Structure 1
């Protein structure tokens, strides 16, 4: 085999990592989009956030209950023994079984706009919860991409370590043969043996890293990794420059939108607290029926309608403390918006730098692989004719392995950085990635429960 052919083969093995299936033989193919679809369905963190979003939907129904009437029924029953004694007469005893049935209905007419503002606050909480869910979806999918690429990287690095070990073992055998005929010293053999031991350690460490990567993959995706293949480029979805990434991130990232809705909710909570200082007007109606209330009365019936006006004057100061507290929480929510904006801006710069660095590192690593392949071939030939030492050969083999490993790591980093940038601009979701899954729509549950007046079961039957 010619030297040029050998170089092309090595470069194909490394640079063409994207087309190589990296798993045990016979495993089912599992491209990245399939893995992300599995994470979208199976990931417990995402499913827990969906349940939390559904729970937040009920806040609107709870707030709307302030517009609805209340209806209460009451029954009281007992026994009453009566003794009647008059001067000059016998003592008489009467036993009564008094019972009362009452039905009370009440309707709030004015509550200081507490119900209206509570409803608006709940609506803002729902919208914020949806953005939090979208942010969780993005993070889970990014974790899925990272876990997927980590397994690919771990398998590739393990393969390189095994190739390195096989090459060093071959060098050790050749060194021992030359030592037996007196061409090299015992020191050369010891150096080769030391490098083989280091390579064995490297293989063991790579196996441990692969095991850890597979465990994380199972945790995030929900299934064991099958036959993983290097994913197609997603760089078409990236903005053209870092300034554009920052602009889109600040306007579209769900974490920022969620914090903005939190500000809206906090603002309405201030109004709710202020509403406790306003009068409360309610209408109440009652129907009652009593039996055996006295010896002379067999039954009574009553109906009443009352209009009640309550004006708060002073309740110990708790309402004022609640208003001050709600205003401070509003200030905190506004600051959180700035915190999230700063975080997204920093992420945009960080991930863009990592993406550009990974592209440069790939080019440098490819050049290093080509140069180190040539160097190793040349050093081996010179070693055979006595112009190079065993150390030179071992160092050349180490340099080639390191450059190959650097290429694998850079390829992994480029993919993860690209997906991180897509997440930063708020586009790392099932719809944008065109995952073959049934998209979860939080609006469906919201519409099912918003105007529900009664019922114990959730829309999914629980």
Structure 2
């Protein structure tokens, strides 16, 4: 069995280690998003309504007491006698108690399932909001990192261009070397504009999710190494998703509700027994001229005999809908299992790729340092330096993107198994702190 909460050690190593009070952390963003999310509000209202299913169905099994009052005009015409007219007032109290009504009893049992479905729907909406906010959070972080990377890249190219210009003035560099650097700089400026627009788009997306702007955001520790998923068996995650995924739970409850609908349709063929009692002082609506109190009590048994085929048609329709719900459950289980396997594979592959890219970034940094040293002694050209520089910053871009994708894959994996909740976000919060420049790969 999978622990419904990922261990703190797995979550801890994903995140941050230095802080600034003004930065917005992930729990703050997520809580704001859940509070702002209209889908969560709808699901909450739906759950509140579903919670009334049990008292409503129970009321149909309890005694029903009603009372009324009336005043009527009476005229009696009898042959060979004078006409008699009078006004009559009175009130009536009626009591009804069902004794046997299988339809009502089935509806009462079904009400528990309806309430449970409302709770599952609400839980699923909350989890979806948490995941949506976390994705938007990391999307904005990724956009900020990309713009920062490009700014650093542009500064490095400018420094290299300045050095080339000095070497050109000294006769040690050519015009072609300068043009190559200028061409590369123009390309980076274009990337910078694209990154600026992308960052604004991601910020608007996060603001749309939360209903409020958040800037700056807490950042990731650059030296973090992502751990393996626990357990490391994809079959265990797939089984968890197949049994406990929110969509699977919804379909399970839909199937159970459909089964009760079949039972209610079949119960329409059964007899219905009940007791009724009426107390009417002053002969209300009894037609008597003098005050008369009427008290009645009756045991009633109603047996359906012929309904023109309506009851049989309802049974067949309910059975067809029950079959539909059962197949919907099978489809949801297959989809949940496949999604969990995919998320597990994405996380493990992303974790491996992130570690490899981290090593590759270090190798590119060493290569750039060696190339720059070779350029100073004449064994390398300026083109070699620019290429090595480009390789380093491309590797950094890929490393950052892979790391964010991997973290999101982990959150998605937990969502597939219905274990992603605010407690996980709260466990992360103690490790989320911002420090400018702390997102750089280790040297």
Which TM-score band applies after superposition, normalised by the shorter structure? 0.7 to 0.9
C-alpha distance in 1, partners of 2:271/2:128?
47
Conserved in 2, the CA contact under 8 Å of 1:46 and 1:140? Answer: yes
Matched, 1:402 2:394: yes
Give the corresponding residue for 1:108: 98
**Residue in structure 2 matched with residue 456 of structure 1 by the alignment:** none
Choose from 142, 153, 158 the match for 1:164: 153
User: SS where residue 67 of structure 1 aligns?
Assistant: coil
- 8 Å CA contact retained: 2:86, 2:289: no
Q: Deviations over 1:7-27 (max 9, x none)?
A: xxxxxxxx9984466xxxx76
**Comparing 334-343 with 222-231, which one deviates more in the overlay?**
222-231
- What is the alpha-carbon distance in structure 2 between the residues aligned to residue 436 and residue 278 of structure 1? 58
Query: Within 5 Å, which residues of 2 pair with 1:275-424?
Result: 275-289=267-281, 297-383=289-375, 388=380, 390-424=382-416
Q: Deviations over 1:422-454 (max 9, x none)?
A: 3333322245666699xxxxxxxxxxxxxxxxx
Residues of 2 paired with 1:167 and 1:17: CA distance? Answer: 28
Q: Bigger CA drift: 135-144 or 315-324? A: 135-144
2: CA distance between counterparts of 1:371 and 1:295? 106
Question: CA 1:105–1:435 in 2, change beyond 3 Å: closer, same or farther?
Answer: farther
Match of 2:45 in 1: 51
Aligned partner of 2:110 among 112, 118, 121: 121
The two structures have a TM-score, normalised by structure 2, of 0.80
Does the aligned pair in 1 maintain the 2:63–2:98 contact within 8 Å?
yes
Change in 2 beyond 3 A, CA 1:235/1:258: farther
Q: 1:213 to 1:309 in 2, by over 3 A?
A: same
TM-score by length of 1: 0.77
- 1:197–1:95 distance in 2 versus 1, CA, 3 Å: farther
Contact kept, 8 Å, 1:355 with 1:418, in 2: the verdict is: yes
Task: Give secondary structure in 1 for the equivalent of 2:301.
Answer: strand
The 8 Å contact of residues 37 and 435 in structure 1, kept in 2 or not, is answered as no
Q: Which runs of 5+ in 2 are unaligned?
A: 1-12, 430-443
Q: Deviation of residue 156 (structure 1)?
A: 1.4
**CA positional deviation for 1:385:** 6.1
The whole-number CA distance in structure 1 between the counterparts of 2:106 and 2:287 is: 53
Deviation at 1:45, TM superposition (A): 2.9
- 1:141-196 deviation line (CA, Å, top 9, x unaligned): 22233223222222211110111122233334444555566665555444433332
- Check 1:381–1:243 CA distance in 2 against 1; reply closer, same or farther (3 A cut): same
- CA root-mean-square deviation: 3.7
Q: Which residue of 2 aligns with 1:4?
A: none
C-alpha contact 2:226 2:351 (8 A) present in aligned 1: no
Counterpart among 70, 87, 90 of residue 76 in structure 1: 70
Cα pair distance change 1:47/1:215, threshold 3 Å: same
Say if 2:190 is the partner of 1:201: yes
Task: Indicate the larger mover: 309-318 or 185-194.
Answer: 185-194
Q: Distance in 2 between matches of 1:93 and 1:324?
A: 59
What SS does structure 2 have at the residue aligned with 1:315? coil
With 411-420 and 188-197 compared, the bigger mean Cα shift is at 188-197
Q: Secondary structure at the match of 1:154?
A: helix
How far 1:332 sits from its partner (Å)? 1.6
Q: Which runs of 5+ in 1 are unaligned?
A: 1-14, 438-462
